[in-house]
Amino acid sequence: MTKKINKDLTAEQKLVLFEDGTEAPGTSELNHEKREGSYHCANCGEKLFDSNAKYESGSGWPSFYQSLPDAFETKTDTLLGYERVEYHCKKCGGHHGHIFEDGPKPTGKRYCNNGVCLTFKPKN
């Protein structure tokens, strides 16, 4: 994994991706993105999610019920005093969010992603 930080990231993106920050809920324009396409890591450009896996979770963050295969590595996060599964881009190590077990079928998973960590590329 390369820990290279993209020099074009904003201060907020660096905070969330590499310093355990979280964006405020409801602030990401990607919450309202409905077009067909794909979501990529804002740091390294790696493709992480397809738009068909995105759904409205009501959490305030872009949510997906599955990622692309081998897109992420996970670790246990106890920062809030209880265990959560945190996920990071496998290519660059950037933190994207947490995985919860309250998502829709077919996986039952909710990848709760900080919107500032993603870029959306519409399908051509």
Instruction: Return the CA Rg of the chain.
Output: 13
pTM: 0.94
Determine the pLDDT at residue 80: 76
- CA 18 vs CA 4, 9, 36, 66: distances in Å: 10, 11, 29, 23
Across the strands, what pairs with 87?
A: 74, 97
Per-residue pLDDT tens for 12-46? 999 999 998 999 999 999 999 999 999 999 999 99
| CATH superfamily, region 26-122 | Peptide methionine sulfoxide reductase. (2.170.150.20)
Is 92 a residue of the active site? no
- The C-alpha torsion from 33 through 51 and 22 to 107, rounded to 10°, is 130
Q: Which of 41, 44, 92, 112 is catalytic?
A: 112
Domain ranges across the chain: 26-122
SS3 state at 84: strand
Average pLDDT of the segment spanning 88-109 = 96
